[in-house]
């Protein structure tokens, strides 16, 4: 399964949504050379289109130079067997092949060009996940894939529905109808957002159900909960994720009866005393004993509120530690006085906000407590400076649906490599290219985040947030908005 080619699919200038989903099916089924051997019936089933129309779509894609077709005869001698399709138009132009798909599996001497930087990661939420989602309808598949392209690694998307509709080659009304159906089936969640006194881009996010069903097989968990060996004591499985998973499943099944709840509590106490040294050292205004006691209380609350997520997690202890650390850090930051609570008393952002820059306070995302350590759009949206930058760019014609994922990716790159390589990697980054950016445009976006190599951070837009109209050179904007 070629997730990389599906990610590149949105660079293809096809005429209709049906052609895009057919081409996406071929890309998803292709091997590393870009070839796939399929029947028309198989293509139609996976693409969500009729068998009768598949031939016309394939011919149109061949005429457009996106694929070549080598027809094969069936057993009865007719040309209706499993033909071989080669996706010439989606191969990596920098290498002439799709080898970057398996960059994580290639030897070091084969990792050339962009593959030396931030490699393509099929485990990251991307358009190919839509082909593993529980849907067989073309509009839903394309909507999910377009949303995934504009999402961060957590599956959060801040793109307006009009942007997703344009990327999906469907009308806004059709996109709204598809979104309502996906919400009804609990594959996508939606939350309203505001920027000051005005409505901002709604927060769309893939639900745990979608992420569980659509993630690559290598990441999927079996979900089978086995009974622990009779001779194994609870204290022997403290560091064992399966042990926590089994005890939680038993507690849920027994409706948290006294015996099962006590077993989970013993695991938490052992974990807090043996595996939270770093977290304990970070607590504000607490002795070691007080910090451990507070962590135990937080962990017990998290275990009850997020039991299902912990049971399904690949690493239950890791997820528990992440959630507890986030909640403890939020309280500690408030105690330090560097978190703005806003007039409503709600966490506005995990950064200091001056009174003259204050935005209307709003509630954090519903699943904020489940955020991982990877940077996501929620982190950017919580920062008033970044929200103000997106708002300013929107006022000069830059689509927020593009601004959010591009800025998120630029920040991700800037946090991953040393200063001297940030612009170079941005110019050659596969994710920015998939979003339609040229190398010059990617470099201009990186200027907004970290400034120029000569001017340093002081030349970035984020360092001059109160006077963006003057601080951002017109040449940067012209490059960013160029067709």
106 domain residue, yes or no: yes
Give the DSSP H or E segment for 153: none
Q: Are residues 160 and 207 in the same domain?
A: yes
207-211, 305-309, 369-373: the lowest-pLDDT one: 369-373
| Per-residue model confidence (pLDDT) at position 159 | 93
Q: Give the model's pLDDT for residue 365.
A: 57
Same domain, 251 and 201: no
On whether both 239 and 328 belong to a single domain, the answer is yes
Q: Higher pLDDT residue, 234 or 244? A: 244
- Check whether 441 has a pLDDT greater than 90: yes
Task: Find the mean pLDDT for residues 443-462.
Answer: 87
Q: Which of 86, 114, 142 is the last residue of a domain?
A: 114
- In a domain, residue 371? The reply is no
Contacts of 36 (CB under 8 A, 6+ apart): 26, 29, 30, 84, 85, 87
Q: How many domains does the chain have?
A: 4
Higher pLDDT, 285 or 5: 5
Around Cβ 385, how many Cβ atoms within 10 Å?
18
Checking if the pLDDT of 137 tops 80, the result is: yes
Helix, coil or strand: residue 102: helix
pLDDT (average), residues 12-19? 91
Residue 49 falls inside a structural domain: yes
| pLDDT at position 238 | 35
Kindly state whether residues 389 and 476 are assigned to the same domain: yes
DSSP 227: P
Predicted TM-score (pTM) of the model is 0.67
Contact, 130 vs 171, CB < 8 A?
Answer: no
Q: Is residue 345 part of a domain?
A: no
Distance between CA atoms of 192 and 203, rounded to whole angstroms?
A: 6
- Both 68 and 159 in a single domain? no
Does position 282 have pLDDT exceeding 50, yes or no? yes
Q: Are residues 191 and 264 in the same domain?
A: no
- Give me the DSSP letters along 240-278: -HHHHHHHHHHHHHTTS-HHHHHHHHHHHHHHHHHS-HH
374 within a domain of the structure (yes/no): no
Q: Which helix (H) or strand (E) holds 89?
A: none
118/139 Cα distance (integer angstroms): 31
pLDDT at residue 1, rounded to an integer: 61
Q: What is the pLDDT of residue 354?
A: 38
Q: Is residue 368 part of a domain?
A: no
What are 185-197's pLDDT values in tens digits? 999 999 888 776 6
Q: Which residue has the tokens 């204050």?
A: 358
pLDDT bracket for residue 325 (50, 70, 90): confident
Give every CB contact of residue 171 below 8 A, 6+ residues apart in sequence. 165
Q: How confident is the model at residue 371 (pLDDT cuts 50, 70, 90)?
A: low
Confidence bin at 283 (pLDDT 50/70/90): confident
Q: Are 353 and 385 in contact (CB under 8 A)?
A: no
Rounded to whole angstroms, how far apart are CA atoms 25 and 61?
13
Q: Does one domain contain both 135 and 161?
A: yes
pLDDT in tens, 245-280: 888 888 888 888 778 888 888 888 888 888 888 778
For residues 347-376, give the mean pLDDT: 47
> Token pair for residue 178?
């598809």
Q: How confident is the model at residue 373 (pLDDT cuts 50, 70, 90)?
A: low
Q: Are residues 325 and 403 in the same domain?
A: no
Of the residues 69, 85, 114, the one at which a domain ends? 114
Residue that terminates a domain, selected from 333, 362, 394: 333
Per the prediction, the chain carries an average pLDDT of 78
In a domain, 135, yes or no: yes
Q: Is residue 348 part of a domain?
A: no
CA angle 371, 365, 317 (to 5 degrees): 25
What is the arithmetic mean of pLDDT over 430-440? 89
- Asked if 92 contacts 98 with a C-beta cutoff of 8 angstroms, the reply is yes
> Does one domain contain both 94 and 172?
no
CA distance 284 to 337: 11
Domain hosting 38: range is: 3-114
Does pLDDT of 101 surpass 80?
A: no
Q: In this model, does residue 170 exceed pLDDT 90?
A: yes
> Roughly what angle, to the nearest 10 degrees, separates helices 172-184 and 161-168?
100
Residues 44 and 106 grouped into a single domain: yes
Q: CA nearest 394: which of 152, 165, 198?
A: 198
Rounded to whole angstroms, the Cα distance separating 339 from 346 reads: 10
The SS3 assignment for 193 reads: coil
């Amino acid at each position: 399964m070629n997730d990389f080619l599906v990610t590149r699919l949105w660079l293809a200038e096809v005429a209709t949504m049906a052609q895009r989903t057919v081409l996406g099916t071929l890309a998803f089924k292709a091997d590393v050379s870009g070839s796939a051997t399929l029947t028309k019936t198989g293509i139609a089933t996976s693409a969500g289109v009729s068998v009768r129309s598949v031939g016309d779509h394939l011919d149109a894609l061949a005429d457009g130079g996106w694929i070549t077709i080598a027809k094969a005869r069936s057993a009865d001698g007719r040309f209706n067997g499993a033909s071989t399709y080669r996706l010439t138009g989606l191969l990596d132009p920098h290498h002439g092949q799709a080898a970057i798909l398996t960059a994580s599996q290639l030897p070091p001497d084969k990792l050339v060009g962009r593959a030396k930087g931030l490699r393509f990661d099929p485990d990251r939420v991307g358009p190919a996940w839509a082909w593993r989602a529980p849907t067989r309808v073309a509009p839903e598949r394309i909507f999910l894939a377009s949303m995934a392209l504009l999402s961060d690694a957590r599956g959060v998307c801040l793109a307006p529905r009009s942007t997703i509709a344009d990327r999906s080659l469907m009308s806004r009304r059709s996109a709204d109808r598809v979104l309502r159906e996906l919400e009804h089936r609990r594959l996508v969640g939606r939350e309203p957002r505001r920027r000051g006194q005005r409505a901002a881009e709604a927060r769309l996010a893939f639900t745990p159900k979608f992420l569980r069903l659509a993630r690559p097989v290598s990441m999927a968990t079996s979900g089978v909960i086995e009974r622990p060996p009779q001779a194994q004591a609870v204290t022997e499985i403290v560091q064992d994720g399966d042990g926590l998973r089994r005890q939680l499943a038993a507690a849920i099944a027994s409706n948290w009866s006294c015996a099962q709840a006590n077993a989970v509590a013993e695991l938490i106490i052992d974990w807090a005393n043996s595996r939270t040294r770093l977290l304990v050292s970070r607590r504000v205004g607490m002795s070691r004993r007080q910090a451990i006691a507070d962590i135990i209380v937080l962990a017990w609350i998290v275990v009850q509120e997020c039991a299902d997520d912990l049971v399904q997690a690949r690493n239950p202890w890791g997820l528990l530690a992440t959630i507890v650390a986030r909640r403890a850090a939020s309280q500690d930051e408030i105690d330090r006085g560097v978190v703005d609570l806003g007039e409503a008393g709600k966490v506005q952002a995990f950064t200091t906000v001056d009174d003259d820059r204050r935005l209307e306070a709003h509630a954090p995302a519903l699943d904020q407590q489940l955020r991982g350590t990877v940077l996501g759009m929620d982190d950017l949206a919580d920062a008033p400076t970044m929200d103000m930058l997106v708002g300013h760019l929107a006022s000069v014609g830059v689509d927020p649906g593009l601004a959010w994922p591009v800025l998120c990716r630029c920040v991700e790159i800037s946090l991953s490599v040393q200063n001297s390589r940030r612009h170079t990697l941005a110019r050659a980054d596969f994710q920015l290219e998939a979003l339609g950016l040229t190398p010059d445009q990617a470099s201009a976006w990186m200027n907004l985040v970290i400034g120029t190599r000569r001017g340093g951070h002081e030349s970035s837009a984020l360092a001059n947030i109160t006077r963006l109209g003057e601080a951002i050179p017109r040449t940067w904007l012209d490059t960013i908005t160029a067709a």
